[in-house]
Every structure is written in C-alpha cells, then in structure tokens.
Structure 1
Amino acid sequence: EALLKNDVISKEDCVKRLTTANINSNQFSALVCFTFNLGCGAYEDSSIRKKLNAGDIKGAANDFALFNKAGKTVLKGLVRRRKAERDLFCKSGGC
C-alpha cells in the first residue's frame, strides 16, 4: 500500500510540474490516472500536455483517445480507460 501511495504521489508531482495551464480537480485526476498508466515521460511528450499548456482544452481532451494501443494493437481495455479519463477530464464543464 505504501508503494502504491508513493507511486501515485510521484505521478501527481509529475503532472503538477509539467502542467502550466490552470486545471480543475477532475482534469488533474484524469491526468494523474493517464500518467500513472503511461509514465511521466509519456505525459511530458504527449500531445495532451502540449495542447493543454497551449490553451487547447478540447484538443487535449480529444487526444486521450490516441493512447489506446499496446505496440500497434488497439486494446479494448485501453479504449475504455482513455474514455473514462477523458470523461473525467471534461466533467463539471472541464471541456
């Protein structure tokens, strides 16, 4: 449990450090979930972060769907996960 907590905290710190846009708590949680799954480096290089920091909130939200593959194979589980992250990101008027 302590290892999981530390891992989540490190992903939260990553999102805080790399996100310059003002975001709400739902957007933050969605980004932490994304980063927990793919890693801080993937978030740093992602079009989601780049669009978000450039002020393109809808573009960032739409790009969650791009991260649905393992290798070149689309996985249903990743499609569901990215949809859930996008839905959370857009909840409460986030998009």
Structure 2
Amino acid sequence: MNRTPIFAAVRHLLARPLIEADVRALDTAIDAALELPSPLAVGPQGVALVRRFEGLAKVRADGMVEAYPDPGTGGDPWTIGWGATGPGIGPGTVWTRAQCDARLEADLARHAEEVAEAIGDAPTSQQQFDALVSFHYNTGAIARATLTRRHIAGDYEGAAEEFSRWVYAGRKVMRGLVRRREAEAGLYGGRD
C-alpha cells in the first residue's frame, strides 16, 4: 500500500512536517486498520443445525430432489434441497444432491456475510454466530430483528429470549419452528 498520500494529508492538516514519532504512530494506525478480521464463517455446529432443521426433503427413488411448497403458505416460496428458495425454484424443479449441497454452501456463506455485517464488531462467540446464521437462514430477518439489537448491546440473555418470538408461519405457530428456535437459543447460549 502506498502510504505517501496519507502522510501528505496529515502533514497538510497539521501544517507542519512530520517527525519520526508521527510517522511511527501513523504506520501503526494504518497497519491496525489493514488487519481487519476476515468475515466470520459458519462453523460445523451451525451447518449441522441448518441441515437438521432444513432437512433434505422430497428425495426421489432415483436420488433426485424435488421442490416443495412452503409448509406455512402451501405455496410460495417453493423450496428445494436444504431450504433453498428463490428465482427458478417452483413446482417441477428437480436438482441433484450435488446441486443441493453446493447451494447450501453458497447460501450459508452469503448468510454468514450478512450476519457479520449486521452485528459489526460486537463481541460474538462462534456458537452465537452459528445460531444467528441459522436464524437468518430461516427468517432473513437479521438486519431488522430485536434479537440482533440486543446481541449488539451485549444483552445476550435478552437476545436468547428473542428467538422464541420467531415461530410463526402463515400467522400460525409451527412446531418445527418452535423446535428450531429452541435449538438456536440453546446454541446461542452455549447449551448445545
């Protein structure tokens, strides 16, 4: 990285030449800024949790996987594989197991990035992160959930309680969502 423009800007702001101590302090600050942690990735517990609750439904006798309607609405969004939804997935969509696995990997990476962005630099254990990724994978709500705000504020007990609010589909409590949120809250709180 060319640091000359940075040093020139600081010299201009200070209206004086930089001394050796200034240069060392700037170098240290620039180095620290460049050592930003890489985005968190979902860990094995998070992957297992998503796989457990999403399941690989509608596997045909020939090993191919069919799309199915949302259990809460009986229609959209149509789902295939490990909970994949989106454009091109609807009645009649069929994938191989390899396609399902590849999509899960890509979707988990995208959801992990979105969780990392939503929580910023809030202290987060791997278990908390994995639980948040599972929650977001299922709800898409990490950016707007009170759960996220409580986590960022360091209210981990309050955040863990928020999972239980996300158990509705089609205005009905879904037993599968109740079990999933209990598992996510348990992982989040380190009780998995």
In the superposition, the TM-score normalised over structure 2's length comes to: 0.45
Q: Confirm whether residue 11 of structure 1 aligns to residue 132 of structure 2.
A: no
- Which AA in structure 1 matches 2:133? V
* Number of positions where the alignment pairs a residue of Structure 1 with one of Structure 2: 90
For 1:86 and 1:35, locate their aligned partners in 2 and report how far apart those are by CA, in whole Å: 13
Higher helix share: 1
- Alignment partner of 1:57 is 2:153: no
Superposed, which structure 2 residues align to 1:33-44 within 5 Å? 33-39=134-140, 42-44=141-143
Quote the Cα distance in structure 2 between the aligned partners of 1:90 and 1:55. 13
Q: Which amino acid aligns with 2:159?
A: A
1: CA distance, partners of 2:103 / 2:159: 30
User: Post-superposition shift, 1:3?
Assistant: 1.6
1:31 to 115, 132, 147: 132
Question: How far off is 1:89 after superposition?
Answer: 0.3
Matched, 1:71 2:144: no
Any stretches of 5+ residues in structure 2 without a counterpart? 1-100
CA–CA distance in structure 1, aligned partners of residues 131 and 176 of structure 2: 16
The residue number in structure 1 matching 2:32 is none
Q: Does residue 86 of structure 1 match 2:185?
A: yes
Runs of 4+ aligned residues of structure 1 deviating over 6 Å after TM superposition are: none
Q: Tell me by how many angstroms 1:73 deviates.
A: 0.6
Task: Return the alpha-carbon distance in structure 1 between the equivalents of residues 153 and 185 of structure 2.
Answer: 18
Percent identity, please: 37
Structure 1 residue runs without a partner (length 5+): none
The equivalent of 1:22 in structure 2 is 123
Post-superposition Cα deviations, 1:43-66, rounded to whole Å, max 9, x if no partner, equal 110010011112211110000000
Point out which structure has higher relative CO (alpha carbons under 8 A, 6+ apart). 1
CA distance in structure 2 between the aligned counterparts of 1:86 and 1:2, rounded to whole angstroms: 27
Distance in 1 separating the partners of 2:170 and 2:142: 17
Structure whose alpha-carbon radius of gyration is higher? 2
Measure the CA separation in 2 of the matches of 1:25 and 1:56: 17
